[in-house]
Chain A
């Protein structure tokens, strides 16, 4: 049985611009070769009424995400959170993030493996 999760990533996907900084920050920090990494940015194009569309980018923590344990143990943010150009990622204890998610819509709370 796996350990109960304590920490998560809160993503404000209203502001994610799809810059992929988180991907490269993760690869650099954790020495992942291209093709692997702890986070991936997805693009979602959703049709809306009146021939409009909405473009969303969503960073998704993969099976390789360890929430940068060596960094967070030192009190640092995970590499993706630190470098996020849009400042749309927050790391923290799940309870705190669950409080924070109430502040505005278009957010998602990830709890990686």
Chain B
């Protein structure tokens, strides 16, 4: 009942609204049913009273005149900008009819469910897709190159994901007994404080700096962290993997690693055949041996011993002292004698392919700086690393990610206070499957997963990342091979204006589809291609919960905006319509079911507000591999197939993918394409974050747009002068694919050889209809970035390193 007195409600941010990956506690001031003010909740352990510009601007967002307040049906052709309002019932009926027709004629997999960045809607999109029967949930970015690939790659070698430790696991935070502040933190391609991505609060790092953490910054740009770093390594974009090999070179050759960890907890001691370069498996040594068991050399008895992966220990042996290094002639089951050495030897051989002078040549970072940074990190006890999306946005992302993981593992920083700590869902409450987990929301049968696009071609996707492969999905819309794609459900995702590379190709794909639903809060370039648009609610308009890492907490409905419905309610209604066996009657039943592992119902959790997992649970650190808290069988070790941290990835060997870290030059760089470099001499990097916006959002919010009014490209003063471009002038960025218009910000924060153009630009104030499409074709930098260059894993793509030339716009502003 609306009150004319101001009431203050506690709730938790998680998109829609601020757009980020959420988790901050807020106090919502409500009067007469309207949000009149929003503040940070001083009691909330995550943000401790602070709040960002985007959350504070909710008072302008929630009642914005442009917000969609009724379902809309397209009346003109796609992109013509003609709509009529319809009722929710009409909209649901129409969607049900059209999607049922697609399911009946072509099968449920012919409907693709497109999701954007990581918000709570992920679970509800999966719920709808799976109720409909489609395995094709698509994160619309080329190579799914944001976060998921990092997770999948890290999980391949360490069984779990790990993040920097800012004591976020504990309600008492930095005061928690046993917590240590990292002495050094490497910030790898990350401007985290600008948007708080990846379920972390960016300014935790500033908290840590005030407590003494020193920074090593790896970023071609002079970021805020770079400016304050002890070492700022300004690498050429796309060469991160060479840089990490340089770090490992220093750490290993100077003996700065934790040899006890390497020997006991990694697969360093396992044997590799020198003839094939492959692991020695039990089946190589004895004819009836398992191919999932491995071998080591026991120095006590001078013979091979078997590492039994089911026991996470050596087979039939009480006291084994495995050799970390050495070379032996070993007789195989087939009578052949093969020279073998250890994984550690092979790993060191690989690392020694990257002496620092070579790494300097590849990366452009002076060898001395790499050396000094590596020594500083390795000698810091503890030291932490945190990586940004730059590590995903390159095709060979796994050999890079596994290199960085190896670096924190062998320096003894894995799951230790102040190091890189395993991040698990609080209380193991997992609504939907992130890579490596089984979510509560699943397809009914394994059979239904079979048509998932790319799952048969890319094993990392098949095994860890439960989405369809985006680039293949786009192609399949045109080829209809092996089956046609007929419809798309697009929910708070901007495939045209931000998520999709090569947006003209996406436009052609959308034009080809029979039926498109878009769910969003505002019309966007993407919604203009839908048949039906449904108006979603902000986080303030819904009851929900948040279980991404820690804590487990509720999102509480505080206001209602007439005409809008929460994403979860939209999807719940349709899930019931598409699945006659859908097992929940109410959304609260659904929540209670997912929350079961916590021992709390939704109402109980809501009464608490938030809950932290207690010591001794698998979602509470530290050193869980020693305590047997990571594996389902409760044995000490990691949740990998060997039970060990894998310096040599056993699964990747089985998948015929590169099992160890290394550098692979990306496809569009001056090194890989000197032919293109003649015409396109500058490196084009994209994706710099703005504190005012989350990706494509917020351009219509006056307080936020004021902070960042125009698409601005950073260009070095020398480069600007060479191209006759002045500060504030409009200029074209162009390559072989297309061009985009940006305003020059002449600044030395970028190197001379690179420009940085932020993504996600469109202009809500411009005309919706084509050819304008909100001015998107003018400013969308993704027009210069291709689809279809995903890495060998089906994950990762060249987004942060392309090539371009620049020239000034005649006539200034368009």
A53 neighbours in B (Cβ, 8 Å): 222, 227, 748-749
B443 at the interface (CB under 8 A from A): no
Given B59, B224, B226, B747, which contacts A18 in the complex, CB threshold below 8 Å?
B224
Cβ of B228: which chain A residues have Cβ within 8 Å of it? Answer: 14
Find chain B residues with CB under 8 A from A23 CB.
53, 703, 706-707
Q: A18-B224, A84-B50, A85-B52 are in contact. Are A24 and B703 (CB under 8 A)?
A: yes
Give Cα A32–Cα B95 distance, bound, in whole angstroms.
Answer: 42
Task: Give the residue of B53, B702, B748 whose beta carbon is less than 8 angstroms from that of A19.
Answer: B53
The answer to whether B327 has its CB under 8 Å from any CB of chain A is: no
State the interface size on chain B (CB cutoff 8 A).
Answer: 37
CA distance A12 to B340 in the complex (A): 59
Q: Is B38 an interface residue (CB 8 A)?
A: yes
**CA distance in complex: A76, B39 (Å):** 12
- Please classify how large the interface on chain A is, using the bins under 10, 10 to 19, 20 to 34, 35 or more: 20 to 34
Bound Cα distance A55, B226 (Å): 9
B8 interfacial by beta-carbon distance below 8 Å: no
* A45 interfacial contact with B, CB 8 Å: yes
> Which residues on B sit within 8 Å (CB–CB) of A86?
193, 203, 206
Report whether over half of chain B's contact residues are helix, strand or loop; otherwise say mixed.
mixed
Measured CB to CB, the nearest residue on chain A to B191 is: A17
B40 at the interface (CB under 8 A from A): yes
- Given that A24-B703, A83-B50 are contacting pairs, would A15 and B209 also be in contact in the complex, using a CB cutoff of 8 Å? yes
B706 to chain A, nearest CB (A): 4
Scan residues 35-55 of chain A and give those whose CB is less than 8 A from a CB of chain B.
Answer: 35, 45, 47, 53-55
| CA of A19 to CA of B222, assembled, Å | 16
* In the complex, chain B residues whose CB is within 8 Å of the CB of A54: 227
- A58 interface residue, CB < 8 Å from B? no
Q: Is A87 interfacial (CB-CB < 8 Å)?
A: yes
- Give the distance to chain A from B64, nearest Cβ to Cβ, in Å: 13
Q: Does B57 lie within 8 Å of A24, measured CB to CB?
A: yes
Asked, given contacts A23-B707, A82-B49, whether A28 binds B56 with beta carbons under 8 Å apart, the answer is: yes
Q: Smallest distance from the beta carbon of A54 to chain B beta carbons, Å?
A: 5
A15 to B225, CA, bound (A): 10
Q: Which of B31-71 contact A (CB under 8 A)?
A: 37-40, 49-53, 56-57, 59
- Flag if B224 contacts A34 (CB, 8 Å): no
Question: Could you tell me if A45 and B747 are in contact, using CB atoms closer than 8 angstroms?
Answer: yes
CB-based contact A25/B748 at 8 Å: no
CB-CB under 8 A from B691, the residues of chain A are 17-21
The CA-CA distance from A35 to B703 in the complex, in Å, is 8
Chain B residues 325-348 with CB under 8 Å of chain A are: none
Known: A18-B691, A34-B705, A85-B52. A55 touches B227 (CB 8 A): yes
Q: B444 at the A/B interface (Cβ < 8 Å)?
A: no
Cβ of B40 and Cβ of A17 under 8 Å apart?
no
For A82, the chain B residues whose CB sits under 8 A away are 39-40, 49
Q: Is the CB of B56 within 8 A of A21?
A: yes
User: What's the Cα separation between A24 and B224 when bound, in Å?
Assistant: 21
- Shortest beta-carbon distance from A80 to chain B in Å: 10
Whole-angstrom distance between the alpha carbons of A56 and B227 in the complex? 8
Check B224 against A55 for contact (C-beta < 8 Å). Answer: yes
Q: A14's closest neighbor in chain B, by CB?
A: B228
**Nearest-Cβ distance from residue B265 to partner chain A, whole angstroms:** 37
How far, in angstroms, from A93 to B224 measured CA to CA in the complex? 30
Kindly report which residue of chain A lies nearest to residue B206, judged by CB atoms: A86
Residue of B nearest to A25 (CB): B56
CA distance A28 to B228 in the complex (A): 31
Write the residues of chain B forming the contact surface with A, with a CB cutoff of 8 angstroms. Answer: 37-40, 49-53, 56-57, 59, 193-194, 202-203, 206-207, 209-210, 222-224, 226-228, 691-692, 702-707, 747-749
List 19 A-B residue pairs with CB atoms under 8 Å apart, sorted by A's residue number.
A19-B52, A20-B53, A20-B692, A20-B707, A21-B56, A23-B706, A24-B57, A24-B703, A28-B703, A34-B702, A34-B705, A53-B227, A53-B748, A55-B223, A84-B50, A85-B52, A85-B203, A85-B206, A87-B206
Question: What residues of chain A have their CB less than 8 Å away from a CB belonging to chain B?
Answer: 14-15, 17-21, 23-25, 27-29, 33-35, 45, 47, 53-57, 82-87
